[in-house]
Amino acid sequence: MKRYGHTVKAKKSFGQHFLKSEEIARVIARCVHAAYVPALMPDGTLDRLAACSLRRDASDFPAENAAPTNVLEIGPGMGVLSRCLWEDPSLNVKMVEVDAESVIYLTREYPDHTRNGQLLPADFLKMDLKELFDGQNFVLTGNFPYNISTQILFRVLENRDRIPLAEGMFQKEVGERVCAAPGSKAYGILSVLLQAFYDTEYLFTVEACEFNPPPQVRSCVIRLTRNKTKQLECNERLFTALVKKAFNQRRKTLRNALKNIEQEQNCTLVDPPAEYMDKRAEQLSVSDYIRLTACLQPLSK
């Protein structure tokens, strides 16, 4: 991508693949609004004609009598998504970028949108998120670097009371895991842990040709919207440990996969539902895992 004769070289170390399509970027920008549903083609890709017809002032999302929505974009690169976010008057946008070359580019090309703390030269995985937006909640978006996308999702989970919505571009395989239903091959640790606190949506598929350089995999845009669960009806630490233990041996029944969890977690498994223990990890729903975790009783010291 080029602007005013300048460019930023994509770096493998940062997992950079720059999105070329402004139509796709504009739809991703609209998806920070939980009510927005993009128009799709039968194959699950974006309806480009519908995307091209979107107004650039986001007037279908008026901000009258409403406080701006805080939005943090991870890895703006050369600003293709950023420009579409700036079009929306209802958004208060900040960007975090770890690549020094991209920081220089964005600062030079978009001075009005990168001063006064709007562009943060930092690593999202190491940031203190409590300091962002004066401690207010914020929406997370981005064309996320694929090499740290799972880590980003776990940071979202850790900060779920601060991040009511997260959406953006992921490797298709990761997006399918996040949104998978019980019983499917894609259903796993990421599915259960995220779906315990977020409603997940697979929005649309994006082909490799839409990026520079093209990745070796297909991509997708997904959205996570915070559900009404404030806290689990079980020990959350044990819930995470049990889910990971179950899926690490997903070919075994839970009776065998969880055989050593009592010793490992210093607890005892009291009257687990027999119908669960004869199933495999992918056959249990989030509520099933919560119920099973409630059967784990910590041993007194």
Six-digit token pair at 126? Answer: 């190491």
Give the model confidence (pLDDT) of 178-228 as tens digits: 999 999 999 999 999 999 999 999 999 999 999 888 888 999 999 999 999
Six-digit token pair at 181? Answer: 């239903």
> Domain locations in the chain?
12-226, 236-298
Read off the pLDDT of each residue in 79-102 and give the average, rounded to a whole number. 93
Give the model confidence (pLDDT) of 159-191 as tens digits: 999 999 999 999 999 999 999 999 999 999 999
Domains 12-226 and 236-298 share a fold: no
Q: How many residues does the chain have?
A: 301
Q: What is the mean pLDDT of the chain?
A: 90
Q: What's the N-to-C CA distance of the chain in angstroms?
A: 60
Read off the DSSP letter of residue 6.
Answer: B
Six-digit token pair at 91? Answer: 């958004």
pLDDT score recorded for residue 63: 56
pTM of the model: 0.90
Superfamily of domain covering 12-226? Vaccinia Virus protein VP39 (3.40.50.150)
Domain at 236-298: CATH code: 1.10.8.100
Half-sphere exposure in the Cβ direction for 148 (13 Å, CA): 19
Read off the pLDDT of each residue in 295-301 and give the average, rounded to a whole number. 78
Which CA distances in Å does 251 have to 183, 242, 278, 290? Answer: 13, 15, 12, 21
Judge whether 15 and 148 are in contact, CB under 8 Å. Answer: yes
